Amino acid sequence: MSSATTSKPGFDVRYRTIDLVTITTLGVAFGVIFWGWGKLYEPLSGLAVFSFPPSSALLGGVWLTAGVVGGLIVRKPGAAFATEFIAAAVSSFIVGGTQWGWGVYASGFWQGLGAELIFLLFFYRRWGVLVAALAGAAAAAFEAVYEWTSYYSSWDMDYKLAHLGFFVVSGVVVAGLGGFALVKALARAGVLDAFPAGREQAVEV
């Protein structure tokens, strides 16, 4: 699957049962991952390598991956947003929740919206690595701006812009490239045969 990969002219807005089940399953799975990563975030962000506060945004890409993966697999309007938001919600319901409380819902909203807008920009026709990277970058940018107002309002603009830059790098590498690689791996394993990503893998083979 290259950056020029297309599924077909136009796109089908009709959701199948398997699409809804997949979004929900991905949301729950990533929600558990989000929760676990949240528990690791504070000790990791306290390491000397992250002594420059904005650089801790390099750890944020994990939380952006659900929307990218959901969008790449289901390939229908709203799939990226729904997967990311469900994942955020699930992470808040697990025993102990997260240290950000209800803020995870806002994060899920902005992260999912960022990824969704990139897929919309390409009219839900292109699903390659470039689009995945852009989706990760947009999710990161939306989340970074949200965090400026919610968590880092006292930072000077140079810190905020550095935070944005680190976040976008993480979004591109972890959520974009990593999410694309995950979808390819799932397709090769045969678990996406009911989706275009799985059928494209079969053609490549």
pLDDT in tens, 52-108: 999 999 999 999 999 999 999 999 999 999 999 999 999 988 856 666 678 899 999
Residue 177 is encoded by which pair of tokens? 């490239």
**C-alpha count within 13 angstroms, C-beta hemisphere, residue 134:** 14
Considering the domain boundaries, does residue 10 fall inside one?
Answer: no
Four-CA torsion 69, 90, 109, 107, nearest 10 degrees: -100
Considering the domain boundaries, does residue 130 fall inside one?
Answer: yes
- The predicted model gives 132-145 an average pLDDT of 98
Q: Print the domain residue range for 168.
A: 17-204
Q: What is the pLDDT of residue 54?
A: 96
pLDDT in tens, 13-39: 899 999 999 999 999 999 999 999 999
Percent of the chain with pLDDT over 90: 81
Closest C-alpha among 163, 137, 169, 166 to residue 151: 163
pLDDT tier for residue 153 given thresholds of 50, 70 and 90: very high
Considering the domain boundaries, does residue 75 fall inside one?
Answer: yes
117-137 burial: b if 16+ Cβ within 10 Å, else e: bbbeeeebebbbbbbbbbbbb
pLDDT at 43 over 70: yes
Considering the domain boundaries, does residue 7 fall inside one?
Answer: no
Contacts of 158 (CB under 8 A, 6+ apart): none
Number of domains observed in the structure of the chain: 1
Considering the domain boundaries, does residue 5 fall inside one?
Answer: no
Considering the domain boundaries, does residue 148 fall inside one?
Answer: yes
Considering the domain boundaries, does residue 80 fall inside one?
Answer: yes
Residue 199 is encoded by which pair of tokens? 């059928």
Considering the domain boundaries, does residue 8 fall inside one?
Answer: no
CA distance 125 to 11: 7
CA distances from 88 to 24, 45, 52 (A): 12, 20, 27
Residue 49 is encoded by which pair of tokens? 């390598």
